[in-house]
């Protein structure tokens, strides 16, 4: 199957982001992509106050509606990395929710990010994602005619048992849309993605936010380097720093080959915790 990684610099205006996204969907379809992957919080990258101002529910989100139209218009699957969405049954916090859109524009799957980025990256860069977002508690594998897709988001990448669970439940391709910070991206991003691919014998498709995101007086930098990794660990594509589309062909037979060579997914054992 042919996938496209959409590397993007989301701003703080969802309508404006959608206007820039529409031609990229057309471009992915023209390039033969059957699955288009977009980054975490495709609809809005902004400080918490602005995010809460613009985030709305599934019925009203313009990026969800617009990309459903584009999926149907071009007849391709879209893994909408995530949207900041206001749940109808909320506790005031948003959901960091990804959507899989089928080629008719219907929502085929949803996944709420499980692991919250409550981290002090440095004295100057601190994140408390759980103050703005309510974490999910359910892992999701979407079985499509293209492949079985395991859904994850950004900081989830650091929790290998989630990916193991997805692969053991049948996922062949693991999706990791992200908005990684520059320092942690430089130090960890590629290594973690390759490790998840190798240890599960799965393809990894990671569409990333990139560049400089301005919102009012606040400026945020993201790492970019959208990556496609094969089940044996080779990097098939690295989008670098620039926004745009990267096409990559996946030979799904490589999943079975990698798992046959190293059957570690079937070798889990239970053991007593250290005393």
Ligand X SMILES: O=C(O)CNC(=O)[C@H](CS)NC(=O)CCC(=O)C(=O)O
Q: How far apart are CA 188 and CA 64, in angstroms?
A: 31
Instruction: Give the interface size with ligand X as a residue count (CB under 6 A).
Output: 14
Q: How far apart are CA 161 and CA 88, in angstroms?
A: 30
- Per-residue contact string for residues 94-113; x = within reach of ligand X by CB under 6 A: --x-----------------
113 catalytic residue (yes or no) = yes
- Per-residue contact string for residues 139-168; x = within reach of ligand X by CB under 6 A: ---------------xx--x----------
**Contact at 8 Å (CB) between 209 and 202?**
no
Which of 21, 41, 205, 245 is the binder for ligand X (CB under 6 A)?
41
Angle ∠(164,167,173) on CA atoms, nearest 5: 125
> Please, which residue, 118 or 249, has the CB nearer to ligand X?
118
Cα Rg of the chain, angstroms: 18
State the catalytic residue, choosing from 40, 44, 70, 129: 40
**Contact at 8 Å (CB) between 8 and 227?**
no
Least separation in angstroms between residue 74's CB and ligand X is: 27
234 catalytic residue (yes or no) = no
**Contact at 8 Å (CB) between 12 and 212?**
no
Contacts of 252 (CB under 8 A, 6+ apart): 1, 147, 172, 173, 203
Cα→Cα distances 78→69, 172, 247, Å? 11, 17, 14
> Please, which residue, 102 or 129, has the CB nearer to ligand X?
129
**Which residues 197-256 are close enough to bind ligand X by CB under 6 A?**
none
Interface segment toward ligand X; rule CB under 6 A; list 38-46, 59-67, 98-106, 251-259: 38-46
Least separation in angstroms between residue 252's CB and ligand X is: 28
Residues paired with residue 8 on neighbouring β-strands, in sequence order = 209
> Please, which residue, 111 or 180, has the CB nearer to ligand X?
180
Cα→Cα distances 23→6, 154, 206, 244, Å? 12, 25, 21, 11
Least separation in angstroms between residue 4's CB and ligand X is: 22
State the catalytic residue, choosing from 37, 44, 113, 129: 113
Q: Measured at CB, which residue is nearest to ligand X?
A: 184
The number of CA neighbours under 13 Å toward the Cβ of 63 is 33
**Which residues 108-137 are close enough to bind ligand X by CB under 6 A?**
117, 127, 129
44 catalytic residue (yes or no) = no
**Contact at 8 Å (CB) between 37 and 43?**
no
45 interacts with ligand X by CB under 6 A: yes
Least separation in angstroms between residue 110's CB and ligand X is: 17
Which of 181, 202, 226, 246 is the binder for ligand X (CB under 6 A)?
181
Query: Which positions are catalytic?
Result: 40, 113, 154
Question: Rule CB under 6 A: which residues touch ligand X?
Answer: 40-41, 45, 96, 117, 127, 129, 154-155, 158, 179-181, 184
């Amino acid at each position: 199957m042919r996938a496209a990684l959409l590397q993007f610099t989301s701003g703080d205006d969802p309508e404006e982001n959608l206007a820039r996204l529409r031609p990229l969907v057309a471009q992915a379809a023209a390039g033969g992509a059957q699955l288009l992957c977009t980054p975490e919080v495709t609809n809005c990258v902004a400080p918490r106050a602005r995010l809460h101002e613009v985030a709305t529910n599934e019925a009203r989100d313009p990026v969800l509606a617009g990309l459903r139209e584009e999926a149907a218009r071009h007849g391709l699957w879209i893994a909408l990395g995530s949207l900041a969405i206001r749940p109808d049954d909320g506790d005031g916090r948003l959901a960091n929710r990804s959507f899989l859109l089928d080629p008719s524009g219907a929502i085929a799957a949803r996944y709420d990010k499980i692991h919250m980025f409550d981290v002090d990256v440095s004295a100057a860069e601190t994140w408390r994602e759980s103050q703005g977002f309510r974490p999910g508690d359910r892992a999701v594998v979407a079985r499509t005619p293209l492949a079985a897709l395991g859904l994850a988001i950004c900081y989830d990448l650091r929790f290998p048992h989630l990916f193991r669970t997805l692969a053991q439940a049948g996922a062949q391709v693991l999706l990791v849309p992200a908005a990684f910070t520059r320092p942690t991206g430089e130090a960890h991003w590629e290594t973690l993605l390759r490790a998840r691919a190798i240890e599960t014998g799965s393809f990894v498709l990671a569409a990333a936010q990139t560049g400089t995101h301005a919102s009012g007086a606040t400026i945020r930098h993201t790492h970019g380097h959208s990556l496609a990794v094969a089940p044996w660990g080779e990097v098939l594509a690295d989008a670098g720093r620039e926004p745009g589309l990267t096409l990559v062909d996946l030979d799904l037979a490589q999943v079975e080959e990698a798992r046959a060579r190293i059957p570690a997914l079937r070798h889990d054992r239970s053991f007593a915790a250290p005393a």
